[in-house]
Amino acid sequence: MGNLRSVLNAVRAVATDTSLTVRITADPDELSRADRVILPGQGAMGDCVGELNRSGLRAAVLEAAANKPLFGVCVGMQMLLDHSEENDTTGLGLIPGLVRKFQLADTLQADGSRFKVPQMGWNAVRQTQSDGRAHPLFAGVPDGAHFYFVHSYYASTAQAVHCAGQAHYGDWFCAAIARDNLFATQFHPEKSADQGLTLYKNFLNWKP
């Protein structure tokens, strides 16, 4: 339930100097054997969680989240949280927090225009971490670099320590979340040019 081909091509592009094989799978056993996992998602949260359940991948994703590097993308990030207002959907509960809908109907941008929902386009991401250091996956990415977003809902983590990056759209929201071996972004690295490719390359070499 995501830009699988775009993600595949982006990760293969940065994996050329590694021994890793990058592939799409719907096989729980293959997912269990993987060294690291990327969980993309696109569309409605309820549909994505439903497909995860129907495919039999839910248990394998939870197993991966317990013991290997996992990177969630867009709705793949939102699924890591406890609950989403979209479709009143229960998430995987891996990072405490909620997914909320933008409420910007009466809010104007600096130029007087109205905010559009979904947010669609490039937005700056401010790297955040409780100890003052950026997350290792942001290595080589300038603070405030722009990434590509398409979303109507945003993550609100229960604990500030789990928000690894923020963007501003009407108000500040979590654009990247992280805990231990988990990292996820609301934006699409595969659509974010060199900065996004750097994130994927860092993920392939990440040893949390």
pLDDT digits (tens, 9 = 90+) for 123-144: 999 998 666 789 999 999 999 9
**Which token pair is 77?**
């990030």
In order of 4, 52, 159, the CA distances from 23 in angstroms are 10, 17, 33
Query: Which residue range(s) make up the domain with 120?
Result: 4-205
Q: Any residues with CB less than 8 A from the CB of 74 and at least 6 apart, and which?
A: 2, 40, 41, 42, 150, 151, 185, 186, 187, 188
- The reported pTM is 0.94
Q: Output the CA angle 157-105-192, nearest 5 degrees.
A: 55
100: three-class secondary structure by DSSP = strand
Q: How many domains does the chain have?
A: 1
197: three-class secondary structure by DSSP = helix
Which CATH number characterizes residue 121's domain? 3.40.50.880
Catalytic residues: 74, 188, 190
pLDDT digits (tens, 9 = 90+) for 168-207: 999 999 999 999 999 999 999 999 999 999 999 999 999 9
The phi, psi pair for 39, rounded to 5°, reads -115, 95
pLDDT digits (tens, 9 = 90+) for 63-73: 999 999 999 99
